[in-house]
Amino acid sequence: MYRLPDPTPERSVPGAPWWPLVMLNVEWVNDHAHEFDVFHLHFGFDAVPPAELQRIVAALHANGKPLVYTVHDLRNPHQTDPSIQDAALNVLIPAADQLITLTTGAAQQIKRRWGRDATVVPHPHVVPLEILDRPRPRHTTVTVGLHLKSMRTNMNPLPVLRTLLAEIRDRDMHLLIDVHPDVLTPGMPHHNHEVCDLLDHARDREDVRIHVHDFYTDDQLWDYLMGVDLSVLAYRFGTHSGWLEACYDLGTRVLAPSVGFYHQQHPGVLKFDWDDHGQPDAEQIAAALDGLASLPPWRTTRSERTRQRQDIAREHSRIYHAATAGRSS
């Protein structure tokens, strides 16, 4: 099995973490159809209009090439309006020759909404295999981490942060708050004065640390996650989480809201609910903090993730063969 390299756009930005998919283009499909057998789509179609997606699918099928689509996001975490993602899914899911998703809950929703069966293939490891057996650093005080990043659209961190600040005060714990500089810089697109005010009030507390920094490199992110005992996800909507997978790789417990299917990715993900006013259930968060010290270790192993990766490869191979057989019949 061979995967074509991701082509670099003509006007790429050096060092950019993401660029529009060159392959997701009718002309590219027509010009390169002789080079591939299966077109497997995961992400990267946020800015592609549904009509253009329809043309791309038509070009694939006109060239006898099956589309395999892994449904990571039933709700796009970067878009406020869910109808944008729905319009794309309304093209891709009915047209795909084979569908994959990460959890049974997502597969059930796909079946209910589109009448299509999706094969459940769990998310593989995020952290490199050679790091998975690295010992976690020892520290005496439990550290809870909330990373605001750049205040992505699906995040609702302020109510969670206020709850954590109140709950941490009564416990032998530290709260580590990370945030990108653009959130604290006036004039930047993600600037948020409420975050600035709240962090200003929290700076003098001995049980709170605030870390302002640019995007972590992968190695910096692994070090960060291994330095916290509990990572709190303040997502108001979403489907699956790669961040959660990285935490499981490194042994960092996760507290996630009861939206999407985060809790189906791995047993043992801690849970809190949002109320109708966008406030987290403070009692559930308090219970999660109280019970944290008595929980068993929550971490994968290198051998477990290696076996899983082999299983995923075999399942993808089976799906690809089924897709090509169906397209050629």
Q: Are residues 279 and 312 in the same domain?
A: no
Do 44 and 71 fall within a single domain?
yes
Alpha carbon dihedral 238, 110, 86, 327, in 10-degree steps, equals: 130
Residue ranges of the alpha helices (H) in the chain?
26-32, 50-62, 82-95, 104-114, 157-168, 181-184, 193-202, 218-226, 242-250, 282-291, 302-328
- Structural domain harbouring 137: 129-299
Residues 99 and 244 in one domain: no
Residues 164 and 293 in one domain: yes
Q: Which residues of 129-146 are buried (b: 16+ CB within 10 A; e: fewer)?
A: eeebeeeeeeeeebbbbb
Residue ranges for the chain with pLDDT beneath 70 = 1-2, 8-20, 328-329
User: Same domain, yes or no, for 46 and 170?
Assistant: no
Residue 273 and residue 142 in one domain: yes
Q: For residue 235, give the nearest of 130, 145, 127, 152 by alpha carbon.
A: 152
107 and 155, same domain (yes or no): no
Residues 209 and 104 occupy one common structural domain: no
Are 158 and 236 within 8 A, CB to CB?
no
Mark whether 285 and 194 lie in a shared domain: yes
For residue 138, being part of any structural domain is answered with yes
96 contacts 53 by C-beta, under 8 angstroms: no
Rounded CA-CA distance 164/254 in Å is 14
Spatial contact of 278 and 284, defined as CB atoms under 8 Å apart: no
Instruction: Tell me the pTM.
Output: 0.94
Q: Is 46 exposed, middle or buried (0-12, 13-18, 19+ CB in 10 A)?
A: middle
How far apart (Å, rounded) are the C-alpha atoms in residues 44 and 270? 30
Tell me what pLDDT residue 22 has.
82
Residue 286 has what pLDDT?
97
pLDDT at 210: 97
Residues 6+ apart with CB under 8 A from 82: 75, 76, 237
pLDDT at 58: 97
Same domain, 184 and 137: yes
Encoding tokens for residue 281? 């259930």
102 and 163, same domain (yes or no)? no
Joined together, the tokens standing for residue 228 give 């916290």
